[in-house]
Amino acid sequence: MRSLSPPPALRADVRALGARSLPDVWAGHWTRAPERPALWDGARGPLAWGALERESARAAGRLHAAGLGAGDRVLVCAASSLAVAVAQVACLRLGLVLVPANPAYRARELGALVADARPRAALVDDAARARGLCDADPRLLVTTPELPLADAAPPRLDRAAPAAPALLAYTSGTTGRPKGALLSHGNLHATAEALRLAWRWTPDDRLVHALPLFHMHGLGVGLFGTLHAGASALLLPRFEPGLVLDAAAAHGATLFFGVPTMWHRLAEHPRAETLRGLRLCVSGSAPLAAALHERLATAAGVRVLERYGMTETGMLASNPLEGERRAGTVGFPLPGVELRLAEPAGEVEVRGPNVFAGYRDRPEANAAAFTPDGWFRTGDLGAFDREGYLRIVGRAKELVISGGFNVHPREVEEALRAHPEVEDAAVVGTPSPEWGELVTAYLVSRRELGLEEIRAHCAPLLAPYKHPRRVHRVAELPKNALGKLERRRLRDGEVLPEPAE
């Protein structure tokens, strides 16, 4: 079993990581620099640190007067906005537990989450959704992120201990029923502080924030990371390449974080070179294709930094800020993170102050998720190259075993994307009495591609047992809001091939 620690330049006193709450850190920023901008909203303009303290305190007072106290859970299901950000800050200051939910959820999905999380209140921006929640649970306080409730003086704020619960984040559900990962204030602090050190995040940085505020990438890294560093963020209501580039140019931005789908669209934009003015561009939530790395370097003049994290752990690894940002890898462990590859398949196991204690009310899942010596099993399969860069090669549950050989879908997908007619690709295993599983490819392509043409393309790139034995052309691949491929929907036959031309 091979393990890896952060490089010497990033080794930190792990006792300092996770030793505070985020509100405790924020208090220093609005005390020392109350006039500095913290958050921007397109409609409202800048919100200074002092104003953020006052508005979040007022919001906390309203929630407290409505009967909420430390440890109560609050569902937040709304599109990104300044009001949502302020409400989330207020909840953590009051000691409430945030339960972020995708605003694309339908009533059935949201009802299942509410039944599992059992929140005391819900902040939603859709009237129909609000009515549905009220009908489902008349005891639930349902209001908007603006919190149009009675004003009242807040209790003493910013008192949550590092071990207190802060975030009940549900897994994306790409491999099954979502589970609620309960993260503490210390877990969130550990990730934010590790990124501050690794990316040299300072108060002078300004992030163009176009990620949703219901996911670890947009909430735990984008919003909480910005506020932890004392920096500022431009909150965009949605991602559009033109909006991102306009905001970056107009406000002197230094940072942009995106998912591969965003980077693909930015690379194709005629003003992509605007990104050249940013000091750091980061990609996460799904693998960034090596070809897209190179296209961004050519079209925009940026070397995107790819990192690796999970809902349950926050951020785990990152390519170096200085030094080679190696395409196809996620770099090295972040400060405080210990990472090892378990034999025989190379499953990534981690531990550190950023790692959650377990899933809420899921003892069987927790027993399976942690090793006897306390390492979290990520379910990802990894490999180290000669210089110690970590490469994520797939998910343990996604591994295709065909004819007794292990096939990593992502390796086959990378080869398929190298075909000039293939725009995107996904690989799953389909049952076969002869082979156990057949390597099956789903392609988004400019034209119909036959099996033999695909196998001929793969011949110089992959061993024969890795070649697809079935090929389906589809209009698009099923992905969730963060751009992660939902392989389960392919395996379950929910995505139908296009008819042959």
- Give the other-Cβ count within 10 Å of 390's Cβ: 25
Confidence of residue 369 (pLDDT cuts 50, 70, 90): very high
314 to each of 70, 97, 336, how far by Cα in Å?
A: 23, 16, 12
Q: 83 — phi, psi (to 5°)?
A: -60, -40
Region 123-149: what's the mean pLDDT? 90
Instruction: Look up tokens 């690894």; give the residue.
Output: 317
Q: How confident is the model at residue 11 (pLDDT cuts 50, 70, 90)?
A: low
- How many Cα atoms within 13 Å fall on the side-chain side of residue 208? 29
> What tokens were used for 219?
């909430």
Ranges 37-46, 171-180, 312-321: which has the least confidence: 171-180
Q: Is residue 246 part of a domain?
A: no
Residue 410, in any domain of the structure? yes
Residue 448 in domain: yes
* 421 inside domain: yes
Over range 16-42, report the average pLDDT: 94
Contact 327, 320 (CB under 8 A): no
- 253-262, 314-323, 492-501: lowest mean pLDDT where? 492-501
The phi, psi pair for 393, rounded to 5°, reads: -100, -10
**Percentage of the chain lying above the pLDDT 70 cut:** 95
* 134 contact partners, CB below 8 Å, separation of at least 6: 140, 142
Radius of gyration, CA atoms only, the chain:
23
First to last CA, the chain: 50
Distance CA 418, CA 413 (A): 9
Closest CA to 380 of 444, 336, 330: 330
- Strands 165-170, 180-184: parallel, antiparallel or unpaired by DSSP? antiparallel
How far, in Å, CA of 463 to CA of 468, rounded? 11
- The parent domain of residue 473 ranges over 399-491
Number of H helices, E strands in the chain: 14, 26
In the predicted structure, residue 173 carries a pLDDT above the cut 60: no
User: Given this model, what pLDDT does residue 174 score?
Assistant: 42
Is 315 within 8 Å of 195 (Cβ atoms)?
yes
pLDDT of residue 130: 87
User: What whole-number distance in Å separates Cα of residue 488 and Cα of residue 492?
Assistant: 6
Contact 450, 471 (CB under 8 A): yes
Backbone angles phi, psi at 409, to 5 degrees: -55, -40
- In the numeric block, the tokens 């005629």 are attached to 270
Write the CB contacts of 83 (distance below 8 Å, at least 6 apart in sequence): 144, 145, 146
- Residues of 133-166 as b/e, b for ≥16 C-beta within 10 angstroms? beeeeeebbbbbbbbebeeeebeebbebebebbb
CATH of residue 434: 3.30.300.30
Beta-carbon contacts of 430 under 8 Å, excluding residues fewer than 6 positions away, are: 437, 438, 440, 470, 491
Question: What per-residue confidence (pLDDT) applies to 177?
Answer: 60
Is 470 within a domain? Answer: yes
Question: What letter would DSSP give residue 394?
Answer: E
pLDDT for 107: 79
Long-range (24+ apart) CB contacts under 8 A made by 419-424 are 419/445, 419/449, 419/454, 419/457, 421/445, 421/446, 421/447, 421/449, 422/449, 424/476, 424/477
Within-domain flag for 157: no
**pLDDT per position as a tens digit, 332-353:** 999 999 999 998 889 999 999 9
CB-based burial of residue 298 (10 Å sphere; 0-12 exposed, 13-18 middle, 19+ buried)? exposed
Q: Are 115 and 101 in contact (CB under 8 A)?
A: no
Whole-prediction pTM value?
0.84
| CA–CA gap between residue 409 and residue 399 (Å, rounded) | 7
Which DSSP string corresponds to 88-110?
HHHHHHHT-EEEE--TT--HHHH
Cα gap 74→437, rounded to integer Å: 44
**Nearest of 15, 325, 32 to residue 198 by alpha carbon:** 325
Per the structure, how many domains does the chain have?
1
Question: Tokens for 321?
Answer: 């800020």
Q: What is the pLDDT of residues 260-291, one digit of tens each?
A: 889 989 999 999 999 999 999 999 987 888 88
Angle at 310 between CA 396 and CA 241, to 5 degrees: 110
For residues 144-163, average pLDDT: 96
pLDDT band of residue 175 (cuts 50, 70, 90) is: very low
* Side-chain-side CA neighbours of residue 167 (13 Å): 32
Q: What are the backbone dihedrals phi and psi of residue 341, each rounded to the nearest 5 degrees, phi first?
A: -110, 120
Structure token digits, residue 141: 């306080």
Is residue 123 pLDDT above 80, yes or no?
yes
Predicted pLDDT of residue 399: 82
Q: What is the pLDDT of residues 424-481, one digit of tens each?
A: 999 999 988 778 889 999 999 999 999 999 999 999 988 888 999 999 999 999 988 7
Distance, CA of 489 to CA of 345 (rounded, Å): 25
- Is the residue at 427 inside a domain? yes
The secondary structure element, H or E, covering residue 357 is: none
Residue 226, amino acid = T
**Residue 252: how many CB atoms within 10 A of its CB?**
10
Q: Indicate whether 486 belongs to any domain.
A: yes
Question: At residue 20, does pLDDT exceed 70?
Answer: yes
